[in-house]
Each structure stands twice: as structure tokens, then as C-alpha cells.
Chains A and B, each alone.
Chain A
């Protein structure tokens, strides 16, 4: 007999002996009678048990059961049994039955577990065995286990998932179990659809993560508690880095050097995002950008940024390898830089004698369109002028030095609007330059410098600063027509008309140009005397008249 079995038997015996303890006290009184009875039994068969049964047939350690023996009233049994199919064991003098042939037997924590098969019993006063068969199973104490399926889940940051949690009763456990879970990612949460739940039932455990929950592998420990009985089960949760869900630009286009945009990525807080994109239809290397806590990234376009359309087609969290399609593609257009301001220095220039510098903000390497007014007159629009260069290498601002020609009309030139010739929108500005007249004209020659009465003389006046020249004189009989000045103001041609009655002599002619008047002389002469008829006299007598 094994020690465990021995313990069981001892415990059984102990249980039996413990309950009717008054018997021990009566033993001393009854012992002589018993002795006589035993002697008598040597001659007479004592009643034998006829059957045995257990109720319940399964008990947990510490629980009690009732043994009922047919024809067993007040009988003390001997029993033969097997534990868990082992060898047949025999126990004598146990248990003693009550008037109903029953014994109420309690197991203990020390009772060996297993299947007890009762094979034969007999009245301990008899020698012959009565074959019977009854079983009782001694189990451990009531318990439960947790079963969770699946044992592994994978979600993205910010996602949620479910596990099925079942409470499996053990050894007749039939209480409710309160569930809880530990080991969640930071900023994660969980809840059960039902809690507590009864033994033998299931519920769904929900696990949600935040976009800020760190990615990684987590062991979630689900704990079930029923009184002091606590059982737990673990499952795995993998939190993958979250993926961006959307992308947008605001605004969707802007002028280089003028505007800013904000790139917003859905689910992209603090994420470094890789983008695949095309620039003007040409695929570019992957571009990565780290977003702020709002999933945004702001950028102010630089003057020298490449113009065109940047079209994002695919993106991903840099921590992941799988890409997310952007459908439809999202694009941002960088428009040509637009001038932001315009200055002119100096503010006044003498025509033909110097230059002014036109400087425009954000206009390096830009060709302007300009609108201007002269002396408050109508607005003139000029496309494609001037072209500016950077004020210094790398500068965003552009400039052009402009020389007003000597023949430039004098007055106040006010630039009222400018734009990059590649853009449609005008930028209002106010920059002015006053073109002052040049010095008075200077005449170096007049050819011819004379004319006869009655003649129309084509005269060329050579000099400088004669732009806009007009001719005048107070000399009687001299007038001017067809006055033309060449573009550089260095030559004036005119028809001088000398009337037949013009006063002979040197006329003073005034040439008035934008820079003032000057004078020159023009000589009016009488026509030379010509021989029209020749009268030949001889001795006072006309002899011949000749006409040459």
C-alpha cells in the first residue's frame, strides 16, 4: 500500500472515527460483550452487506459523501478497492455504518485524488467477501481556468482588437469570475463585454491602443478572480507602428518665395513619413518628413524652389515597410515667384545722364510685367520687361539698372503694379521715378546754313539733346515744316521755307527741346542775278537782243 493510499485510508478511518466519537467512550463498556459476540460469531455467520453505493460519486478534496451499504445497518465493513487501477488494497474495520447502513465520509486536502473502485466488502465479523462494484472519484478542490483565443493579435497604433475569454470550471467550480487585464501598452485601454462572468461562459475582451501607444510586443495578462481564487492567462499583442491614412496640402498651390503650406497627414502625429512622389510627372527619390504632434508639417516656399506640381502617390510610416496608396494622388503646385515689393533709386534721373535701379522683392531671375503711369496719365501695361538679376548671389530679390535715354519723355513715372510674367495676378506697388529733362540742346552744325528767298530748303541740324525739338523764329518770311528728330536726339531735319519777300539777312532760329531752347543762325539771301536777256548796242543803237 502506498503511503498516499495509507493516508487516504487513515483519513477515511479518521473521518469515520471522528464523527461517532462517543463510540470510543462506549467501547470500554461494550468491549466484553463484543468479545463474547466475536466468540459466538465463530460459529454463526454475521450479516453480510449486499451492495454499496456512493453519493455523490465525485467529490472534491474536502467535500463529503455518503456511503450506503445494503444490509449494512450498524455494520463495520472490511473493504477491498483499487485506486486509479492500481493493486487491490484491503482495509479492515472501516467504516462503521449507522442504522441506515450509511456512513457520511469527508475527504480532506490530504485525500489522494483519483478513482476509487470498491471491489468487495464484507462484515468485518465475517470472513467471506461480497463482490461489489462501486466507484467514487476524489478530485481536487473547485477551480477554474481561463482560456483566451486567439493567443496572438497584431494591430496598428491607434487600432483595437478583441480576444475571446472563457472561464472553464474545474472540479465543479460554479461561481462568477471577475476579469481584469494587465500589461497594456501605454495609453491603451481594455474592457470586457461582460464582467464578471459565470464559470463556463465567455466574453469578449476589447483592447484599444492610442496613436501614442508605443509600438512593440506586449504580453497581456488576463486575470480572473473568484474570492480568493485567482487564475490568469496571457496572450500576445503586437502593436505595429501606425500608418498614415490621408495626406493633404493647404493651400494646394503657392508662389515660390511668397507662400507657405501645411502638409497634414491623417494618423500622422509625430510620425516620420516616407513619400513617393512625382515632380512634373517625373518620379523622384523618396522624401521623408517628420510631422509634429498634430500630424502636420509646414513649409514656406523658397524663391528658388523648383516650380511645378509635386504629386504624392504613395506613403508610409518610415518604421514600416509596407506602403499606403494615396488615391487619388495629392498634389501641391509651386507657382513662379511673385514680386512682393518694388523700389526705385534714385527717385529722379536726368534723361540721358544716369540710371536708376529698380529692385523688386522675391524677383531674382524674374522677368516682370509692369504697369505704369506717366504724369498721372493712363495706365500702360508692358509684358516681359525688365528682366531682373539677383541683387547678390543667392538673393531672392532682383534688380535691374535702367538708363533713361536722352529722349525719354520727362515727368513722373509711377509703377502701379508688377508681376512675374509667368503669373496672371498683379501685385500692386507704388514706386516712382522722375525723369528730369537733360541740359539744353547743343548744336554743332546746320547744313545748309542759308537759303534764298522763295526757296524750300531741307536743313539738317546736328547736335545733341535735341529730342522733341521744335523750331521757331521771329524773322519775317521764314517758316519751318516737317521737323523730325532722330531717336537719339542728335539730328533734326526740317524744311525751311523762305518766302520771296523774306527779309534778307541772318535770321536767328530757336530750337526748343526738352532740355530747353538754343539758337542758331540761318542766312537768307537774295537769289543770285542771272542773265536772262542781253541787249547789245553799237554806237547807241540796239542791234541785238539775246536770250541765253
Chain B
């Protein structure tokens, strides 16, 4: 009891103007208000975003190509990356996933492709904002440089960390573990973390939308999507979600 009291008191620090004693649901509620309540009200049926996707190597950018990202419902996602050498389609129709080259050569989404799909569906920002409907259990992880980190666990045991800016309540980053590596010196295990970083937020039809999404794996920048347009309720047909 005494320890509990002390812990409670220790939570009375102010972080970036917000009270750190906010519970995760309260924090998510504040974040929802910042992003737009349309995310959970059912007003958003689908959306299409178009822009450029830049692939990175450890030495920097290597190729920038057109990209179109489509989402519909809880689980439909399709990303079409238009490369000169072929069109990459990565997505899910809710039942199956794919990682396809031009619709001619398709495999099940795995590795990077699967992580992308999850980042847009079960681990997405929208999933957190609708945590109740998604049956996510939330827990407070830590404070991280002006951001509060909360963890969401879904019914299948997947955990995702979300970084919420304490001042703006915007979700600026999400992370999840995709594997394990070993320290080349000590051989100590180190989780391989996939990070998606959101920025360049703009208002689109009342929803605060990130126009830049950067992706990191194990700290290495993998890709960046910079959108030039985002449309909600674009009447996206179901048949676009295919390999």
C-alpha cells in the first residue's frame, strides 16, 4: 500500500504540459481527439493515398517510385508500388495476404511485406484509436523524451508500442518486434524492432493525417512514403484488394 501510494505520487509529474497520470485509455482518448473522431465513428469507410515511395539502403536512398496505398474496413489493404521493372502489390483482403510482382508472381506476405500489412491493419494507428472495438488491452510502458509509450496487446498476443506526443497527443511512432538478433560481440540477444514513424500531419476532411511515413528495421531506414494526396471515402472497390 505504501509503495502504491508512492508510485501514485510519482506519477504526478508534468510531461510536456500533459499530466502524466493519464491512464492509457485517457491518453488514447486525447489522441483520438487530436487525430479526429472520425477514425472510430464509422465515418471513414476507406481511403486512398498516392505519392512516392523511396527505398533505402544503409548508404541512403536508392530508388523512388510511385506508390498508391488503399485501405478499406478493418483489414483490407493494398499497396501498389509502381516500379519500372514491375509492379509490387502487397496487401490483404482480410482472408489472405500477398506479396506480388505485377500480379504474375505472388507469394504469401511474409517478412517485410507482412510487417507492412500489419502496420496498416492489426497494429495500425487506427487500431489503437479504436482499441475497444479491436479488443486491445493497453498498458503504460514508459515516458520517452516527451512522448508517452503505451503498449497494446491484441487477443492473439501481438504487442505493439505506440509513441504518443505528450503535448499534441499525436501518435508519431509505432513499433513491434519482428525477430531477434545477437550482439556480434557478446552474443547477447537483441530484439529486432520494426518502427513506423509518422510526420507531416495535415488535415484531410477533418482527420489529421500523416503524409510522411518512414520505416525502420533494427534502426536502419528501410523506406519512406511521402504522400501528395489522401482521400477518404473514395468508394474503393473490394476487387482492388487482390494480388
Q: Do A and B come from one complex?
A: yes
Q: Which residues of B contact A380 (CB under 8 A)?
A: 84-86
**A421 and B222 in contact (CB under 8 A), knowing A387-B99, A405-B103?**
yes
Does A306 lie within 8 Å of B86, measured CB to CB? no
B123 vs chain A, min Cβ distance (A): 17
Does B219 lie within 8 Å of A307, measured CB to CB? yes
* Cα of A249 to Cα of B217 in the assembled complex, Å: 26
Does B111 lie within 8 Å of A389, measured CB to CB? yes
Please tell me which one of the listed residues A285, A332, A421 contacts residue B55 in the complex, with CB atoms under 8 A apart. A421
Does B103 lie within 8 Å of A401, measured CB to CB? no
* Cα of A421 to Cα of B57 in the assembled complex, Å: 6
Does B222 lie within 8 Å of A307, measured CB to CB? no
Does B110 lie within 8 Å of A387, measured CB to CB? yes
Q: Which residues of A contact B178 (CB under 8 A)?
A: 365
**A384 and B111 in contact (CB under 8 A), knowing A306-B181, A403-B105, A421-B55?**
no
Q: Which residues of B from 35 to 64 have beta carbons under 8 Å from A? A: 55-59, 62-63
Does B185 lie within 8 Å of A275, measured CB to CB? yes
Q: Which residues of B contact A422 (CB under 8 A)?
A: 56-58, 217, 220, 222
Please tell me which one of the listed residues A307, A310, A383, A389 contacts residue B220 in the complex, with CB atoms under 8 A apart. A307
Does A405 lie within 8 Å of B104, measured CB to CB? yes
B207, CB-defined interface residue at 8 Å: no
Interface bits B95-122 vs A (CB < 8 Å: 1, else 0): 0000101011111111111100000000
Stretch at the interface among A69-77, A213-221, A297-305, A443-451: A297-305
**A382 and B180 in contact (CB under 8 A), knowing A367-B112, A405-B103, A405-B106?**
no
Q: Which residues of A contact B223 (CB under 8 A)?
A: 384
A97, CB-defined interface residue at 8 Å: no
Does B220 lie within 8 Å of A336, measured CB to CB? yes
Q: Which residues of B contact A302 (CB under 8 A)?
A: 182, 184
Q: Which residues of B contact A366 (CB under 8 A)?
A: 111
Does B106 lie within 8 Å of A310, measured CB to CB? no
B26, CB-defined interface residue at 8 Å: no
* Cα of A287 to Cα of B185 in the assembled complex, Å: 7
Does B220 lie within 8 Å of A384, measured CB to CB? no
By a beta-carbon cutoff of 8 Å, the part of chain B in contact with chain A is 55-59, 62-63, 65, 81, 83-86, 88, 99, 101, 103-114, 178-186, 188, 190, 192, 217-220, 222-223, 243
Closest 7 CB pairs between A and B? A387-B111, A380-B85, A408-B104, A305-B184, A306-B181, A367-B112, A287-B185
CB-defined A-B contacts under 8 Å, sample of 24? A256-B184, A277-B185, A284-B183, A284-B185, A289-B185, A304-B181, A305-B182, A307-B181, A308-B219, A308-B220, A336-B58, A380-B85, A381-B84, A382-B101, A383-B63, A385-B88, A385-B101, A386-B107, A387-B114, A389-B110, A400-B107, A400-B110, A405-B104, A423-B57
